[in-house]
Amino acid sequence: MPTEAERTGIREAVGLFTALEALQGAIDELLSSGFDRADLSLLASETAVEKTFGHAFARAALEDDPATPRGVYISPDAIGTAEGSLISVLAYVGGVATAGAIAAAGGPLTMMIVGAGLAGGAGGLIGTALAKLVGDHRAEDIQRHLDAGGLLLWVRTWDDDDERRAVGILTRHSGRDVHVHSAPRSVGAHVAPIGAGQ
């Protein structure tokens, strides 16, 4: 016989945030209070939400609708790491490829060093531009949400204590319409990173 949790699905706390600083503060406190990053989800891109619901939708109506597209939380540190990796990989590949090409052509060591430095620098500049595009796209997506009425944050709760802690944290950080609801187990099936341009 199925348990109550199996019949009702999962439990989540949800809140609407209209300021990025408040949202990030809530996320930071949730993570430092024992919630896992996998327990957090954000409203997906405006494009994904419009694709699901059309142009006319109220944020409050999205909070408890299991069809609402969601995005996974990606920390600013992870974004910074990805941007740094993009820059360094392109610099490395540009430098090594150029040095290899000069060496294969029988060029002198000085030319290999200068060529690798110039190509590595150019690769790094390209990587920097691409990294900026990645960061800008994510920031623009979040700003679109805030301009349209706010960004929803859901927190998966496992028991009554989790529910109390999550509601307290969301409320303390200026979350609006903070409450707990049941959601079907399939609610996470459509999770994609915010800013992924769905």
- Residues 153-185 pLDDT 10s: 999 999 999 999 999 999 999 888 899 998 776
Q: Where are the beta strands (DSSP E) in 18-120?
A: 40-43, 70-72
> pTM value?
0.65
Helix%, strand%, coil% for the chain, nearest 5? 60, 15, 25
Domain ranges for the chain, please list them: 4-75+149-190, 79-135
Average pLDDT over residues 102-108: 81
Compare 167 and 129 and report the one with higher pLDDT: 167
Q: In this structure, are strands 70-72 and 10-17 parallel, antiparallel, or unpaired?
A: unpaired
Measured CA to CA in angstroms, residue 184 lies from 8, 62, 155, 165, 187 at distances of 7, 15, 14, 22, 6
CA dihedral 88, 24, 37, 185 (to 10 degrees): -130
User: Which of 85, 49, 83 has the alpha carbon at shortest distance from 68?
Assistant: 49
Question: Which pLDDT belongs to residue 173?
Answer: 94
Q: Is 108 exposed, middle or buried (0-12, 13-18, 19+ CB in 10 A)?
A: exposed
pLDDT band, very low/low/confident/very high, at 76 (cuts 50, 70, 90): low
Q: Is it the case that residue 10 has pLDDT exceeding 50?
A: yes
Task: Please report the pLDDT score of residue 48 as a whole number.
Answer: 79
Distance in angstroms (rounded) separating the CA atoms of residues 181 and 152 = 14
Domain 4-75+149-190 carries which CATH code? 3.30.70
What residues form DSSP beta bridges with 11? 157, 182
Q: Which of 119, 85, 122, 78 is nearest to 99 (CA)?
A: 119
Instruction: State both tokens at 89.
Output: 């990989």
Q: Which residues contact 136 (CB under 8 A, 6 or more apart)?
A: none
| Whether the predicted pLDDT of 7 surpasses 60 | no
> For the segment 78-91, what is each residue's pLDDT rounded down to a tens digit?
566 666 666 676 66
Kindly report, residue by residue over 15-51, the tens digit of the pLDDT: 999 888 898 899 999 999 999 988 998 888 777 777 8
Buried/exposed code over 155-170 (b: 16+ C-beta within 10 A; e: otherwise): bbbeeeebbebbbebb
pLDDT at 115 over 80: no
| Least-confidence region, from 2-6, 65-69, 139-143 | 2-6
Q: What would the two tokens of residue 181 be?
A: 């609801």
Distances (CA, A) of 190 to 14, 31, 44: 17, 23, 9
pLDDT, position 5? 47
